[in-house]
Amino acid sequence: MENVDYSLYFIMGSMNVDNPFSILEDALKGGITCFQFREKGRNALVGNEKKAFAQSCQRLCAQYGVPFIVNDDVDLAIEIDADGVHVGQDDACATEVRKKIGPTKLLGVSVHSVEEARMAIEAGANYVGMGPVYATPSKADAKPVAGTSMIQHVANLYPDLPIVGIGGIATHNLGPVIQAGATGVSVISAIASAKDAEMATADLKGAFLQWKTQKSTVQG
Ligand SMILES: Cc1ncc(COP(=O)(O)OP(=O)(O)O)c(N)n1
Ligand SMILES: Cc1ncsc1CCOP(=O)(O)O
Ligand SMILES: [Mg+2]
């Protein structure tokens, strides 16, 4: 899969939300550019129920031409022919995942240092997720808040590597993430917990575009 737009990358599962399918539909209408199916933890669906829900989200994403990426579950990603998979440092080894999914599927890897970024590139990652930038309400076992300095460091060293900032990102604090050099932002609660997911998505997209334009104007 080529030319993926990582600018507004929404992550969601069925946990902790009343109507996940309609939230995803609203997020797609509002303009998300990537979707990650993250079904894990307490109250998460398993087995056939997980697969069926993943496939309904996948079909919806396909209608909007938005890549559908599976979190952690490499076998599910392969079984349903997802567009890609995202793994962290404590999940399956990225090099092995690349071998399993083949050369054309998207591979995302969570990284927290230059060394992890270098290894992700070597493993064939298409993009890296970096965070948590800010405190997050959505991941109990998140690493300590990292701010934006490591994003800036990795972006300077690897200018061709797409970087997605993650963790506590919302319209009001997205600017520093883009200024640090992130290609895009990844969010759960800013969309999934919003009163109006479509409007929240459109607001995030507007803020993203504004900061991106400002960055390229300053850079010339
Ligand atoms: C885009 C993106 N970046 C980072 C993560 C976090 O992955 P991981 O550290 O494996 O944690 P879990 O999401 O699996 O709990 C992500 N999912 N997506
Ligand atoms: C999956 C994940 N990885 C690092 S922070 C995080 C959760 C992001 O959720 P939110 O956008 O609600 O802070
Ligand atoms: Mg993981």
Q: How far is the CA of 218 from the centre of ligand 3 (A)?
A: 36
* Model pTM score: 0.98
pLDDT at position 16 = 84
| Residue 109 domain-assigned (yes or no) | yes
Catalytic residue among 7, 14, 110, 186: 110
Of ligand 1's atoms, which has the minimum distance to the CA of residue 141? 15
Q: How many helices (H) and strands (E) does the chain have?
A: 9, 8
In a domain, 1, yes or no: no
Give the model's pLDDT for residue 31: 98
Residue 47's alpha-carbon distances to 8, 29, 58, 75, in angstroms, are 29, 29, 16, 12
Residue 181 lies in a domain: yes
For residue 165, the ligand closest to its alpha carbon is: 1
Give the pLDDT confidence score for residue 77 in this predicted structure. 98
Looking at the DSSP bridge assignments, the partners of residue 108 are 86, 127
Q: 71 CB less than 6 Å from ligand 1?
A: yes
Nearest to 94 by CA among 76, 107, 81, 75: 107
Q: Residues with Cβ within 6 A of ligand 2?
A: 131-132, 136-139, 142, 166-169, 187-190
| Tokens standing for residue 123 | 């493993």
Ligand (nearest to CA of 8)? 1
* Domain at 30, CATH number: 3.20.20.70
Containing domain of residue 118, as a range? 8-219
Q: Which residues of 133-169 are buried (b: 16+ CB within 10 A; e: fewer)?
A: bbebebbeebeeebbbebbbbbbeebeebbbbbbbbb
pLDDT of res. 181: 98
Domain count, the chain: 1
pLDDT confidence of residue 56: 98
Judge whether 46 lies within some domain.
Answer: yes
| Average pLDDT for runs of 10 along the chain of length 220 | 93 94 98 98 95 98 98 98 98 98 98 98 98 97 97 98 98 98 98 98 97 86
How many whole angstroms separate alpha carbon 9 and alpha carbon 1? 16
In a domain, 2, yes or no: no
- pLDDT at site 1: 81
**CA 166 to centroid of ligand 2, rounded, Å:** 6
Q: Do the domain assignments include residue 3? A: no
pLDDT of residue 217: 87
